Structure 1
Amino acid sequence: MDPFLLSMILCSCIFAAVSWKKLNGMRLRLPPGPPRWPIFGNLLQLSPLPHKDFARFCTKYGPLVYLRLGTIDAITTDDPEVIREILIRQDEVFASRPRTLAAVHLAYGCGDVALAPLGPNWKRMRRVCMEHLLTTRRLESFAAHRAEETEHLCEFVWAKSQSGKPVNLREVLGAFSMNNVTRMLLGKQYFGLQSAGPGEAMEFMHITHELFFLLGLIYLGDYLPAWRWLDPYGCEKKMREVEKKVDDFHQKIIDEHRKARDVRKSGASLDDDGDDDSKEDMDFVDVLLSLPGENGNEHMDDVEIKALMQVSLLLQTLKFIFFKLAWSFNQLCLCSVPLRVLFLKMTRLHSCCAVIFLLKS
């Protein structure tokens, strides 16, 4: 075919597509917004701090602003009444999260309670969390583990301070929060004297860091489908590699728990009191595996358990604990109240043996 004719056909198709989009947008009565570039939309108008750009758009165009991010329609607002309308009155319309490439590859096809679209599967996963994992009794059963990890943390920091060595709070608090979460979720300690071993600990830390990075990555392929075909930086390839590592790691943990459960079943029978105690000592994976299903099958398959382990509980809980602890230590450093008074107040509030240890020292 003549190259000139091919170019004319291509330009005509692009012009027709842009005109159709423009007419369709006029029929939809969209909110006001900044002018958009062809293909890219408003992506080129966003800086490395997009929240500041959104605030600037709201100041210029009004409380509700329409944005076109590549092929994705979006709105932004800074008005409390509009936010209330979105989060309360129109909650079901906006409840589902976008199906990004990272969520598909790293969250088992958006199959967990945090990223699953609103529907029967999301309601089922949420019911499992609220009725079996996050009950008051279940969380209180791990209080001894939390106190033990707090004591280890304080002992380590105290020993470092006595020797005059600096303490890297990012590393120490990261290990502390990691141990708290993994003992509750997986029944394992990855840092300290009773850790599962340096090899497994480093593997777990490496996988977690890769997950944090890729799940927080703004990937252009989510907004421009043609970018996925090019993928010049190999982001999707990296996601597939991490997906395989994460799946193998989680499957190994599930197999270990299944094997341990079979050993317990084949052992000596327990009396009623012993059975109750064993239920109290179960971690989250044990609980998920023990839920009864239909026809003698397990209530949840391995993919559902792995999705629930990964994004919904592990990453969110770990991130929340780490940043909360870092903020608390920062406030302690800025506080003018004597530390001994603060420790006494903490002891009365939490009855923490680690605080008592520090006071005695």
Structure 2
Amino acid sequence: MDLWFTIVAIVFFASILVAKNTKMTKKNLPPGPPRLPIIGNLHQLGSKPHRSMFILSEKYGSLMSLKFGNVSTVVASTPETVKDVLKTFDVDCCSRPYMTYAARLSYNRNDLAYSPYSKYWRELRKLTVTELYTPKRVKSFGHLREQEVASLVDFIKQSASLKKQVNINLKLLKLSASVICRLGFGISLEGSKLESSYEEVIQGIMEVAGSFAAADCFAVVGGLIDRLTGLHSKCEKVFKAMDLFFDEAIKHHLENESIKDDIIHLLLKMERGEIGLGEFQLTRNHTKGILLNILAAGIDTSAQTATWVMTHLIANPRVMNKVQAEVREVIKNKDDITEEDIDKLEYLKMVIKETFRINPLVPLLVPREALKDIKIAGYDIPKKTWIHVNIWAIHRNPNVWKDPEVFIPERFMDNEIDYKGLNFELLPFGSGRRMCPGMGMGMSLVHLTLVNLIYRFDWKLPKGMSAKDVDLEESYGLVCPKKVPLEIIPVITQWT
């Protein structure tokens, strides 16, 4: 984004050369801010588009028109308009526009997240629901989650004995990466081609996938602009590292036929035609595209959720004391924590919901594309219009939430609002046909991790810091991580 204004002249000149004098039929489009020639509203996105769009929506309305270069976009920002997009008109709004770098990362949209709405996508969605992320499969991987969380606990105990601070961001990202490598790819993170670069790769995928690429906004010169800004080279670097890891994991399976309990095994059976995907025969690129979703979404969403929960607990000692009291009362002096124990932790569930509200994992859902001309809230949405759903705006809307900037888990007491896609006031995983199918898998790791961190340790800030000094700023990407790492000092409790 920093180089946009230095290359406007290039865009302007090239656009003049290719401009077509076409006249559109007058439509009742949603209102929106004035646009600059050529670039439209791109200059108004800023470094955190979800926040900028929220500010604009307060002036121009809950359904707002924007123009990003050549791309016509509408932004839905309230539960009512988002419900129209994700439920009422879900089938008409659930396709994906072609996004240059998302297509590259997903092996030409052979995955679930970026594939356009089609028969292939429907078959793949059915597969994920009935085979990859079933409750039975989630439960079957419980021992892997427990082993990796136990390894994290051992590391933190060593740090506590030395009174060393722990970088929570890094440790939770590594935990999530270790779990996903084992259950998704059948290999250990340690010693793999991803070990030295997983943080850079995952962060790079999210930054590239969440970018407003010039290649998508300007048909002729967009690719050149992305090369100048470095977006193209970043995508290629991330893609090559990711592709090497996928090749390694697949080769490991082909050389070890005894590996049968992970997701690659299932996909390779589909490549061989032993399991059907309707009329479609999976190729290696299909397999890798599907693996992208497991790698990126599986690792980053779980890690960032747990990191944000710990951040808000450290920044709110009252809440930390209350949730620790609940966890220690329920678990008591048990060393083994069960799913039945976790189900009883009502206040912890409120803390997680409030974390999702104030720091939604994906503040701007992956854009959708209207499959035909439709009307939403009385406005015309022409076919091919990109549709952005601003989850961050809903979660911070003072007309929806009282004191939306304040972390108050108790707001969910005696409140049936949940995050599973049925309540449009709280949508961290989206809703409708495009809702994240791996929610259950991710949340099982989040719960187990948090209960162990809260139950087994007390936590102190480095000397000279107090709760009010904890930084709550996010970095922007498809998933927004904490900008400044949370570094805190563990203290082993009497419970362990």
SS of 1:304's equivalent? helix
1:97 alignment counterpart: 96
> Which of 301, 310, 331 matches 2:283?
301
Counterparts of residues 129-144 of structure 1 (less than 5 Å): 129-144=128-143
Instruction: Give CA-to-partner distance per residue, 1:21-75, whole Å, 9 cap, x none.
Output: xx41x52332222222221112223332333433343333333322111100011
Partner of 2:231: 235
Distance 2:127 2:276 in 1: 16
Q: Match for residue 47 of structure 1?
A: 46
Q: 1:319 to 1:295 in 2, by over 3 A?
A: closer
Matched, 1:349 2:337: no
Distance 1:165 1:295, change over 3 A: closer
1:166-202 C-alpha deviation (Å, 9 max, x unpaired): 2221222121111111111012222xxxx336x6511
Q: Secondary structure at the match of 1:154?
A: helix
Counterpart check, 1:248 vs 2:283: no
Indicate the structure (1 or 2) with the bigger Cα radius of gyration.
Answer: 1
Contact residue 18 and residue 38 of structure 1 kept, 8 A = no
Kindly provide the CA deviation profile for residues 258-303 of structure 1, in whole angstroms up to 9, marking residues without a partner as x.
Answer: 1211xx4xxxxxxxxxxxxx75xx1111122234865899953211
Give the residue type in structure 2 aligned to 1:41.
G
How many pairs are equivalent?
325
Structure 1 residues 55-134: aligned runs within 5 Å: 55-134=54-133
CA drift at 1:358: 7.0
- Correspondence for 2:304: 323
Measured in 2, the distance between the counterparts of 1:337 and 1:31 equals 45
**Are the equivalent residues in 1 in contact too, given 2:70–2:218 (CA < 8 A)?**
yes
Contact 2:215-2:223 at 8 Å conserved across structures: yes
Unaligned stretches of 5+ in structure 1? 1-9, 265-277
Q: Once structures 1 and 2 are overlaid, which stretch shifts more, 168-177 or 109-118?
A: 168-177
User: Between Structure 1 and Structure 2, which shows a larger proportion of helix residues?
Assistant: 1
Answer yes or no: is the 8 Å Cα contact 1:108–1:307 preserved in 2. yes
Structure 2 distance, partners of 1:217, 1:338, is 37
CA–CA separation in structure 1 for the residues paired with 2:58 and 2:198: 45
> For 2:28, what is the secondary structure of its paired residue?
coil
Q: 1:321 and 1:117, CA in 2 relative to 1: closer, same or farther beyond 3 A?
A: same
SS of residue paired to 1:74: strand
SS of match in other structure, 2:195? helix
TM-score, normalised to structure 2's length? Answer: 0.58
Q: Distance in 1 between matches of 2:152 and 2:18?
A: 65
> 2:397 aligns to what?
none
Map 1:121-200 to 2 at 5 A: 121-190=120-189, 195-196=190-191
Native 8 Å contact 1:188 1:196 kept in 2: no
1:76 match: secondary structure: strand
8 Å contact from structure 1 (residues 154, 358) kept in 2: no
Identity %: 22
Contact 1:343 1:359 in 2 (8 A): no
Question: Residues 235 and 143 (structure 1 numbering): CA distance in 2 closer, same or farther, change over 3 Å?
Answer: same
**Amino acid in structure 2 at the alignment position of 1:256:** H
Task: Tell me, in whole angstroms, the C-alpha distance in 1 between the residues paired with 2:245 and 2:322.
Answer: 46
Name 1:258's counterpart in structure 2: 254
- What is the rounded CA distance, in whole Å, between the counterparts of 1:338 and 1:128 in structure 2? 38
Flag the 1:217–1:81 CA change in 2: closer, same or farther, 3 A: closer
Q: TM-score normalised to the size of structure 1?
A: 0.78
One-letter code aligned to 2:178 = N
CA contact (8 A) 1:250 1:306 kept: yes
CA RMSD of aligned residues (A): 3.3
Distance (Å, rounded) in 2 between the aligned partners of 1:329 and 1:296? 42
3-state DSSP class of the match of 2:67?
A: strand
State the distance in 1 between where 2:18 and 2:214 align: 25
Q: Name 2:390's counterpart in structure 1.
A: none
Q: CA deviation at 1:208?
A: 3.0
Could you tell me whether the CA contact under 8 Å between 2:270 and 2:276 is conserved in 1?
no
Q: What is the match of residue 321 of structure 2?
A: 336
Q: How far has the Cα of 1:138 moved from its partner?
A: 1.4
Structure 2 distance, partners of 1:206, 1:48, is 20
1:268 alignment partner in structure 2: none
Using the alignment, how far apart are the partners of 2:246 and 2:106 within structure 1?
12
Name the counterpart of 2:201. 207
Q: Distance in 2 between matches of 1:296 and 1:128?
A: 10
Letter matched to residue 66 of structure 1: S
Which amino acid counterpart does residue 265 of structure 2 have in structure 1? Answer: D
Q: Which moved more, 1:334-343 or 1:90-99?
A: 334-343
2:378 is matched with none
Taking a change above 3 Å as real, the CA distance of residues 73 and 29 of structure 1, as seen in their structure-2 partners, is same
Indicate if the aligned counterparts of 1:340 and 1:359 stay in contact, CA closer than 8 A.
Answer: no
Corresponding letter in the other structure for 1:287:
L
SS in 2 for 1:118: coil
Q: Is the 8 A contact 2:103 2:114 kept in 1?
A: no
Tell me, in whole angstroms, the C-alpha distance in 1 between the residues paired with 2:283 and 2:244.
Answer: 15
Local SS of the residue matching 2:74 = strand
SS of 2:165's equivalent in the other structure is coil
Q: Following the alignment from structure 2 to structure 1, what is the Cα–Cα distance between the partners of residues 149 and 273?
A: 41
The Cα of 1:322 is off from its aligned counterpart by: 0.6
Is the CA contact 1:103–1:115 (under 8 Å) kept in the aligned structure 2?
yes
1:6 maps to none
CA shift, 1:158, in A, is 1.4
Q: Is this contact kept in 1: 2:186–2:262, CA < 8 A?
A: yes
